Amino acid sequence: MSDAFPPRPSGLGMAHALRFGSDPFGFLRDAREECGDIFSIAMPGDQPRVVTCDPEHIQTIANLPADAYRMADQAIPLNLGDASLLFLDGERHRSQHRLLMPPLHGDHLRSYVPAIEDATADAIARWPRGEPFELLGEMKQITLTAICACVLGVYRGERIDRLRAITTTWMEGPMTPLAFTLAMMLGAGRVRRFLDRQAERSPVGWPNPSPRRRWLPWRRVGDAKSELVAMLAADVAACREGAAADRTDMVAMLALARYEDGSPMSTSEVVDQLLTLLVGGYETTANALCWAVHHLLENPAALRQVREEAASADDPELTQRRPFLDACVKESLRLTPIAPVVNRLLTEPLKLGEYLIPAGTLLWPCAFLTHAHEGVWDEPAAFRPERFLGERRPRAHEWFPFGHGLRRCIGAAFAELEMRIVLTRVLDALDLEHAERSDPHPFLRGITISPRDGLRVVARPREAAMATPQIGRRASMDQ
């Protein structure tokens, strides 16, 4: 075993940060080619990082006990709140995880289908026909509308328009490539604390706030966060005063949830978890949808099989799995994982192969490189959904787009359901093709991998569109 640190790719730390921000897959691929399956990178002003794509290392990290690492130093510049599930460790994480699980599984999960259906139908009706448009922006509208309905219980009217506006302002600001690269160099925790101070000082609600404040982008982000928190806190209070009786959304469920000792979550805890769910259900899912569309357009035979499977299904509500569509989604997430790495800050030394990684090191188990590892996958660069259909399915340390171990994404089942519904309805109604000069090069935007151009496509009505019934909220209300 070596006391030496894993090798570093050539170049300065500043260059690593800039290259990772502009071309994350290319940077990781080149670093592995130069250094092997495990290597280190050093970003200016931050902890040393060790990246690994060795499947045995991944399994070791996934099996670590909860006290072997901590999450408070996640490389997320968005000020979600200190009580966000993403930043909690130990018993606080376990107790809040238990309260968040029920709304995201089982019958509760199925109850969200109408809202997702309606958001998708509205978007499809709005999209231009025969003219190029950016699919990512439209997918974000679907996912944000759906998450506002499912999480916040807000469907239509001025309230959802305002929620979408302030949520977008708050989330998009710190997620620009420049902002995220700065966060990597300065430390994401510092950026979060700075943005929280802006929110605490926000004059939202004051009689005559200065218009000059709006000129500064970080102050706009602070104002949006402040207004959003106030709206959510007021809704939580209303639920606790009796307004939750007929509601099935997550605000109502979390407002009334109780820990094992019978005590409720504090209002700030509920709000921080709601903000986390908003973020998790917005940009990540929208990008995953775009990449799935891109890969299907690049592979017409797979697209044809997806449509044939949908045409023969007898499940109009889409609550049952579609084996081939689900396999296509999984293969898309293999080729283009939305989060290329997982974060783990070691609290004790860890042996990985010949290296003893010291405490205080930020581990990056790398989904992108593991998903492309020629020792795990046959023809790793090819789009082959059948990998997920045979008897030999990928194991948890070989395919982990939603993270792994104790910290696997709590909203994975919701994301998979939403992707199944949106893709089925879009591909049923429309023929899509890449627009001319489309450039879907993978690009780091905030914490997610996006198509650089937002995936520009052209939509045309399908002549052979299936007459699949839409089971939406409005349709069910008319019955």
Q: Is position 410 within any domain?
A: yes
For CA atoms 129, 132, 133, 136, the dihedral sign is: positive
Domains in the chain: how many in total?
Answer: 1
Closest Cα to residue 466, out of 293, 313, 318, 326? 313
Q: Is position 349 within any domain?
A: yes
Q: What is the pLDDT of residue 264?
A: 94
Q: Is position 104 within any domain?
A: yes
Q: Is position 1 within any domain?
A: no
Q: What is the pLDDT of residue 173?
A: 77
Q: What is the pLDDT of residue 73?
A: 63
Please provide the distance, in angstroms rounded to a whole number, between the alpha carbons at the two ends of the chain. Answer: 69
Question: What is the CA 49 to chain-centroid distance, rounded?
Answer: 22
**In 10 A of CB 126, how many CB atoms?**
10
**In 10 A of CB 324, how many CB atoms?**
18
Q: How far are the Cα atoms of 190, 306, 348 from residue 187, in angstroms, in the given order?
A: 6, 43, 21
Percentages of the chain per state (helix, strand, coil), in multiples of 5:
55, 10, 35
Q: What is the pLDDT of residue 374?
A: 95
Q: What are phi and psi of 357, to 5 degrees?
A: -85, 125
Q: What's the mean per-residue pLDDT of the chain?
A: 87
Give the C-alpha separation, 397 to 63, whole Å. 10
Token digits of residue 245? 């009786």
Give the C-alpha separation, 234 to 444, whole Å. 35
Residue numbers of the chain with a pLDDT score lower than 70: 1-3, 44-46, 72-75, 177-178, 180-182, 184-186, 204-216, 315-320, 464-479
- Return the DSSP state at 398: T
Task: Give 444's contacts (C-beta < 8 A, 6+ positions apart).
Answer: 20, 21, 22, 24, 177, 180, 340, 450
Give the strand pairing for 132-134 and 69-70: unpaired
Largest Cα span, the chain:
69
CATH number at residue 49: 1.10.630.10
Give the C-alpha separation, 226 to 206, whole Å. 12
Per the structure, the complete domain to which residue 144 belongs is given by: 13-478
254-295 pLDDT, tens per residue? Answer: 999 999 999 999 999 999 999 999 988 898 999 999 999 999
Q: What is the pLDDT of residue 212?
A: 53
Token digits of residue 381? 């660069």
Q: What is the pLDDT of residue 188?
A: 72
Q: Is position 293 within any domain?
A: yes
Q: Is position 4 within any domain?
A: no
Q: What is the pLDDT of residue 477?
A: 33
Q: Is position 8 within any domain?
A: no
Q: Is position 80 within any domain?
A: yes
**In 10 A of CB 256, how many CB atoms?**
15
